[in-house]
Chains A and B, each alone.
Chain A
Amino acid sequence: NAGVTQTPKFRVLKTGQSMTLLCAQDMNHEYMYWYRQDPGMGLRLIHYSVGEGTTAKGEVPDGYNVSRLKKQNFLLGLESAAPSQTSVYFCASSYERTNEQYFGPGTRLTVT
């Protein structure tokens, strides 16, 4: 039981490049989330999903897109990376909205 996994762990992009971050969970959770953490701050919600095939915007969605084609996977895409998107990205999942959220190990992204 791996819990929540994220790939890649680290990535460096040039401004304007695109990439996709993959989150996978093996706990059969309905809800999945993408957060970002900027230096010295707590996490902020980017997008979330309440089930396969559904996505919704969070607190800071601009510049990101997401897809949830399979229940166990939640993808976060950056179409045209900007230096302001330099951050650590965390994926999380939970069984329901009010249940405990479990977090992945994070992806450190640097945009130059």
Chain B
Amino acid sequence: GIQVEQSPPDLILQEGANSTLRCNFSDSVNNLQWFHQNPWGQLINLFYIPSGTKQNGRLSATTVATERYSLLYISSSQTTDSGVYFCAVSFRIKAAGNKLTFGGGTRVLVKP
């Protein structure tokens, strides 16, 4: 079935380290978003990236739609980067309906 898988499920980083989070999806997509859910539960839009590469400060993302994956890079991590990172996609196929399908998330803890 259609699905979104994120890896790794958990990540512990020392402040200043770099990391890569991965999102694999099972079918063609017309929307892919990365979110950061902070410890207070807020969902913060990081990137809208159905294809290509984008950068925003210390964060960047790349989606290779033909190979059905997206990567989120965190460089020089800070304690405020802690939280859960979600990848969510809207699949092209009609059976998927009109929704974002969320991956299971990557829980990131950045230690000082």
State how many angstroms separate the Cβ of A104 from the closest Cβ of chain B. Answer: 9
Interface size on B, residues (CB 8 A): 21
Which of A16-24, A38-46, A72-80 participates in binding chain B? Answer: A38-46
State how many angstroms separate the Cβ of A74 from the closest Cβ of chain B. Answer: 14
CB of B30 within 8 Å of the partner chain: yes
State how many angstroms separate the Cβ of B63 from the closest Cβ of chain A. Answer: 13
Measured CB to CB, the nearest residue on chain B to A97 is B98
Contact, CB under 8 Å: A33 / B43:
no
Contact, CB under 8 Å: B97 / A58:
yes
Please give, as numbers and ranges, the residues of chain B lying within 8 Å of A101 by CB-CB distance: 31, 33, 88, 100
Contact, CB under 8 Å: B100 / A45:
yes
Chain B interface residues toward A at CB < 8 A: 30-31, 33, 35, 41-43, 45, 48, 50, 86, 88, 90, 97-100, 102-105
Chain A interface residues toward B at CB < 8 A: 31, 33, 35, 41-45, 48, 50, 56, 58-59, 88, 90, 92, 97-103, 105-106, 108
